[in-house]
Amino acid sequence: MISTAANKSAGNLKRLRKDPFLALGSAAMILLTCFFVVWPIIKVVSYSRLADYRKLFTYSSWYHAALNSLFITALSTISCTLIAFLFAYAVTRAHVPFRRLFASVALLPIVSPPFIVALSYILLFGGQGIISKYVLHVHFDIYGWHGLWLVQTMTFFPYAYAVIHGVMASISPQLENAAYNLGATHWQVFRHVFLPLCRPGLAGGALIAAMNVLADFGNPIIIAGNFHVLPTEAYMQMSGMFDLNSASVLSTALLLPAIALFVWNRAWIGKRSYVTVTGKESNARTFPLPAAARWTVFAACLLVTALVVSVYGVLFYGAFTKTWGFDWSFTLKNVHYIFAKGREMANSLKFALLSSIAAAVFSLPLAFIVQRKGTRLYRLLDVLAILPGAVPGIFLGLGFAVAFNEKPFLLTGTPLIMILALMFWNLPTCYSVNLAGLAQISGTLEEASLNLGANRLRTFRRILLPLLRGPFIAGVTVSFLRSVTCLSVVIFIYSAKTSVGTVSILGLVQNGQWGSASALTAALILMAFAVLAPTRLLLKKQGRSIQL
């Protein structure tokens, strides 16, 4: 055993010596990711002394923030998973009308800023809410855990849906048909065949939802009121009193369960890609459900769809309304506001574009080294590349704020720190897309190219690069969407000059300027769609689809 291990590492070394390009490349990659990912994490975790961490158990507000985080995560995870299951079931199995509509509704929230549901929720049910004040004539306090619960459910069920739908779609209906054929009833088939087959999807979907809810900052800061969770509590400590010490303790408390969920997810679900080559879907049809069950599923999906649609509708309506709750007349003043915030919007666009391209470019050689040169050293690269995915955005932002705040690495307040933070935040996304793309390119293509006389560089340029175009574009697109709508990563590192759209919106919401907030949000959504629509088309031509 020992001798083989020694042999192997000797082999690795020999390989590296023979291929200095590879050796230098890997070393540079490792150094850069350590510097921009590991270093900030270490800085935050080590910022506070052990005694400070003890306060987590003694300060009641911190203690409660931690408990609240876990509570709302558990609760929202359950509801997200249920709704996601329902949607996936309706789309893949139930043969209800409007299946395409349901499928796209489940996609909508993903291309939106994180707090849009919270904002719409205020517009719908708040003190001046269209439903609460004008339809129901009631006044209820929407700020608190139940509001947050609803909002988190609406915001994050699509993430669970993507996973569950993927698994459900891959289960051949023939299995269910076989069970029917053997005399099982609908309920028995569902219970004993379908549900067990869905279990990995349910588990994966639940974990994805849990990770997102736990790390979310945008919704709780707007809707949770006095119900503090770890990310908002950390933010309060920073923005209110510049208490970096407390902020780092709270963020670290958030990091631990986040990493636990992440590792759990990796162990269970493995490296799910965001882009899949659309395979042949099984064209076997399932046995139709009993009408009652079918229409129940349909009604439930319709209700959720109505909610999602009203979230967007009310937002766009708000964008053209003078004063929400008082003066409903049409106005363009909010649209003017978009131009007033032109610099922030331009920053959003610029940083998102640069960081996502940078992430995609950076992850390309990374994925190549890991996928094609599978030796031990490259496992380290793999872990480094996905590590940012385990770190909550708020933590990463804080990490950058702390780590690059002093010479010689003084980046505070610069556009560069915004771009770098977003870039490394997006690294796992681009990396997994490229990795999956490479895995789909048979190694014999490279061999064929070498065999025909092309050297390694030419083979990389002429064969691999063109074939990776699809994953590359998909990676850039997904990263762009995430960046344009990102609040948590940037909230600790923006400056007056580098502020972005999402930060402006947060300010407007906190001031009660909902009309302007709606207009800015709508503009961000349009910006996202302007990028998403053409790339989806482009990728569709290549037989690929984007999964977010």
Q: What CA–CA distance (Å, rounded) separates 482 from 471?
A: 16
| 5-44: contacts with other proteins (CB under 8 A) | 8
Q: What CA–CA distance (Å, rounded) separates 378 from 366?
A: 9
Query: Cα dist. 520→123, 129, 154, 224, 256 in Å?
Result: 15, 19, 21, 22, 34
Binding mask 435-474 for other proteins (x = CB under 8 A): -------x-xx-xxxxxxxxxx-xx--xx--xx-------
CB 439 within 8 A of CB 368: no
454: its two tokens: 């092309």
CB 362 within 8 A of CB 25: no
Q: What CA–CA distance (Å, rounded) separates 456 from 18?
A: 14
Backbone angles phi, psi at 65, to 5 degrees: -60, -40
| Shortest CB 477 distance to other proteins, Å | 20
DSSP secondary structure letter of residue 109: G
CA dihedral 225, 108, 128, 65 (to 10 degrees): 0
Size of the site for other proteins (CB under 8 A): 21
Q: What is the DSSP string of 120-187?
A: HHHHHHSTT-IIIIIIS-------SHHHHHHHHHHHHHHHHHHHHHHHHHHS-HHHHHHHHHTT--HH
Residue 32 vs 463, nearer CB to other proteins = 463
Of 204, 205, 229, nearest to 219 by C-alpha is 229
In the block, which residue shows the tokens 């291309």?
A: 111
CB 484 within 8 A of CB 287: no
Of 301, 532, 312, 488, nearest to 395 by C-alpha is 488
In the block, which residue shows the tokens 């915030």?
A: 341
CB 44 within 8 A of CB 234: no
Instruction: Please report which residue ranges of 320-388 form alpha helices under DSSP H.
Output: 333-340, 342-372, 377-386
CB 323 within 8 A of CB 450: no
Angle between helices 291-319 and 60-92 (to 10 degrees): 120
Could you list the residues that contact other proteins (CB under 8 A)? 4, 8, 442, 444-445, 447-456, 458-459, 462-463, 466-467
